[in-house]
Amino acid sequence: MLRLGTPLTLLSLALYIAGLSASLAGTTASTTLSTLVLGGLIGLAQLAWYRQRLGLSLTLVVAVLGALLIDVAGEIMPQSWLSLASFHPLAPLEAVGLPLAWQSPGLADSLLLACLALSLALRTRASLGTPLLHAIAALLWGTLAFQQASPEALPPLTPPAGPRALAGSGLLLLTQFLAVVTGWRHNLPSVLRALGPGLLIASATILLWCQQDNEANRQLFERAQREADRLSATMTGRIDDTLRAMHRFHLVWEIDQRLPSASMWHHEAQSFLHDFPELPLLALIDPSGRVQHLYPDDSFHQAYQGIRLLDGTLDRPWAKELQQSFHQRDAVSSDILPLPDGGWGIIHFLPIHTMDGGRLLGSVAMVFSLDAFAANLIPALADIPDAMTLTLKDGDSTLWRVPASATNSPWKLVSDVRLLSHTLSLELHPNRPLLKHLKLHYPSSTLCTGLIMALLLYLLLFSRHQQRQQHRQIADTNLELRREMRRRSRLQKNIEWLAGHDDLTGLANRRTFLASLPKDAGQNPLSLLLCDLDHFKRINDQQGHRAGDQALKRFAACAQKLLPQGGVLARYGGEEFVVYLPLGDIAWVHDWAEHLRREVQACGVQHQDGTPMTVCIGLITQTEGTVVPRDLLHRADMALYRAKRLGRNRVEIAEAAPVAETSEATEPNGLLHS
């Protein structure tokens, strides 16, 4: 592969040299010249690299990249920020007599050359984006080849560089690819992983740029066409304004029914030509065809004073138009004629007659100079010299062109101009600097931004895949460690939950309940209820422990449903449950306990004989003092014992004063109730 590098590079240099020779001979466009010069420098840099002249190669690459950076910046930035009009590297050659018009390459050509220069500097470094640079260069090369092979109806502002430049850049790209592709085999998985998304974004960006660039050119073409139509409408409107002003001018004479005197004519004609300078001559003709008055009456025009225009001995092509205007009593225009002072013009005859139309007083002859009209149509663009060329044509005959030398314009815009009885064509040729100055810059920004984003994405994905390969073992170890930590965390949470809850009913256990009680009863009224299911042992003995478990769950569900916010429900032991209710007086707590008792009786749990399951509840309310859980539970247990002794299925309130120690000794413990 490397042995083919030098011959292919020499072949590309031969193509560039042949293209340069053709450009110097003036047979190709100026864009080809700039592209061939920069491409040839890249070819020399590549040849120097193969010859181990690395310093020379790097110097040439940096110089080319600097020039391309200026070109790309000029395409992206507005002309008011960075104007490339002064960037003229071939000015010394023009000074010695070689007329070379330098023009910056097109954006696609500049980016293609930039990719070739960058990939030459990076060589086999896939981690710095060389594979994507080659892919982008191939896409741009294909786009330029397609544009050159199938030109559109609307010519682009910057034509393609030409077949020689395209073939030379293609050979350089092929040579670089063959030289570095074998160096990517060690990183091939990472290259393929990163190249796909980057290439997808680059392809979409180039397609979007082509569409936006065509749309921007179309909008610019329509804008230029509107400008041509405006100029033609301006010229037509100027003539219409002149005719309307002249009609008002000669209406005074028709009202007076006499022609003006010499002094009056001089005054009125001078005022009229001051407003309409495109009329080089005004003449007043009497009914016999004699020129009675002229303006301006200088020495050049004085020769026409007093001549008879209808004299048959005089060969004047516009005499019949004058005679026709006398006969028809209407305005008549001549053909387009060469004027005595040079240029082309039209003579318009406007007859003057009395208001009743009975008597002919004479005629006014107005000479319209087309060159004078041209002077009023030149746009004032001081920053862009010779911004456009205006050409007025009568059929295939060119009447005038401003400026006299046509510019190198990619577009020709034609608009009709109505001059009196004639329809002429006004051609507008905007030059390339003007069009680039007016063109929208968002397509160029889209292309550059999209390609940069594709390159950044490639670098990101490549480095990420490399790191993932290098640290895969560490990542697997960390993953297993995290799994073990999560398993132990779940186990720890389960253990902590089981330590504070009853696994059958899901309620808090005795330890959790005691920890939830406040330390000071003075903060709020504190009520404690001790509940015991009546004859629960019969359910276990007669229906089995499974039915007993269901009875416990059913009671827990009933109590949990009625539990107010802030209350605590816990399984105290066996079939006994304890409830803590804050912020409630004794009457409200008693009503709540009664409600719970009725709910349990109606919950659907029955004994073997069909009687419903019931509950005994003992409650105690403390409003002040320090909370002593053992004392509260003991007094609630005494109330619960009293409820069982009085017949079960009832709610009993503990006495206000503590129970004597002898009663605690003689009465059974509530935890042993059945």
* Catalytic center residues: 575
Nearest Cα residue to 78 out of 431, 436, 449 = 436
* Beta sheet of 576-582, edge-to-edge order: 568-573, 576-582, 526-533, 615-622, 651-653
The strand ranges marked E within 234-385 are 281-285, 291-295, 332-333, 337-338, 344-353, 360-369
The Cα 377–Cα 371 span in angstroms is 10
Render the burial of 557-583: b for 16+ CB within 10 Å, e for the rest: ebbeebbeeebbbbbbeebbbbbbbbe
CB contact set of 515 (below 8 Å; sequence gap of 6+): none
Q: What is the largest CA-CA distance in the chain?
A: 164
* Beta sheet of 397-402, edge-to-edge order: 397-402, 388-394, 422-430, 413-419
Nearest Cα residue to 286 out of 270, 302, 307 = 307
Torsion of CA 125, 126, 131, 132, to 10 degrees: -110
The Cα 285–Cα 347 span in angstroms is 13
Residue 424 token pair: 């002429």
Residue 598 parent element (H or E): helix 586-601
The Cα 495–Cα 223 span in angstroms is 79
Residue 50 token pair: 């193969």
Q: How far is CA 150 from the centre of its chain?
A: 29
The Cα 400–Cα 372 span in angstroms is 10
Cβ 118 vs Cβ 133: under 8 Å: yes
The Cα 330–Cα 184 span in angstroms is 88
The Cα 265–Cα 272 span in angstroms is 10
CA distance readout (Å), 45 to 55, 64, 67, 118, 434: 10, 10, 15, 11, 35
Q: Which class for 25: exposed (0-12), middle (13-18), buried (19 or more C-beta within 10 A)?
A: exposed
Cβ 533 vs Cβ 607: under 8 Å: no
Cβ 525 vs Cβ 584: under 8 Å: yes
| DSSP one-letter code for 316 | -
Alpha helical stretches, state H, 314-431: 319-328, 370-375
